[in-house]
A and B are shown apart, each in its own frame.
Chain A
Amino acid sequence: MAKVKGSIVVDIEKCKGCEVCVPACPTDVIRLAENVNGKGYHFAYMENPDNCTGCANCAIVCPDGVITVYRKKVNE
């Protein structure tokens, strides 16, 4: 059965750690990192990458446009 797998790539240095993407994710993929980027922000990253469906909800609400989204159909 075909399943959709997704992945996001965060532009870490431009992420301001606002956290708006976290509740926007329907599959609980994203968290803010414990460590910080060059500007001192706790950036977003995929804590649960296997759950990502590539729905792009996070990218759509990201005020800084730092999230790029990929999606692929995989056969299981």
Chain B
Amino acid sequence: MKELRLMKGNEAIAEAAIRVGVDGYFGYPITPQSEVLEYLMLQKPEERTGMVVLQAESEVAAINMLYGGAGAGKMVMTSSSSPGISLKQEGITYMAGAELPGLILNVVRGGPGLGTIQPAQSDYFQAVKGGGHGDYRLIVLAPNSVQEMYDFVETGFDLAFKYRTPVMVLSDGAIGQMMEKVEVGEQKKRLTDAEVKERCPWATTGKDANRERNIITSLDLDPHQQEVFNHKLQAKYKEIEKNEVVLEEIQTEDAEYLFVAYGTSSRICQKSVQLARAKGLKVGLLRPITLFPFPTERLKELGKQVKGILSVEMSAGQMIEDIKLAVECNVPVEHFGRMGGIIPSPEEVVEALEQKLK
């Protein structure tokens, strides 16, 4: 039987962590995501599943706890919001460099700097293009509902372990704070030590006589070896681009114009599609669910079908660059967005379409 709950996005992701058998969560308070840590502490996951939950002294420490736990083959996650995610970039690039799985939630707020605590989508570049130093990518999942906040915990860990790479759930203050109905899954058991060793033969679980020692590091002082490793990483990202693109389309079959939006903006755009169609404008919506890998191929096709594309983002326009690259100048691409923590209204999105593209 389905188990339904009314939950905040931040609570849903915390409940999902317990239910999918996450081994450790390491967090630090920051608005608008503090409910993740609060919910976990209330739930006593040590009693429910043996999951470790720890409030770290900083975001820097929390992400490095992730590195340590992930290096031991454990399912570990952290969450924060924009300024805190900036602090985590050091650990994230080390995890990418050491090929460690892990889940990082960013409940994005407006910036730059301390900015605002209201929702924004201005961390797209940071999440999708790398964020920290060096040539690396994260798999980036963009939920637009509380249900997806729940579901993407398991999806994220599956991908993280499949590719040995950190995965980011790029949410925002609206999805994190709003309450919706959620179908929660069955309680899964955490992996046993033997199962961890089987899934992660590379993990630092203690060297026994049957194997060489395992080393988790991102260091190779030999430039030739370092280049070989970089090629390996890039090949992995190519593989991810080939296999893991996920998107949603709404009324694109006959669309003459296209909104491209993710997360909260995509919910606004669903309404904007209805409003535009009521006015006789044939508009569709493409929602990238994975931001890396980006749905480049499908956008390229739609670029040949439609007369114009509007990238709707709660930012000054970041994803628009990937859309432009995808459509290869076949069609005009414009941006509409609000910044500073403002969510655009469906009406102003339609207005922007009419002004900029029609």
Report A-B touching, CB under 8 Å.
Answer: no
A: which residues have CB within 8 A of B? none
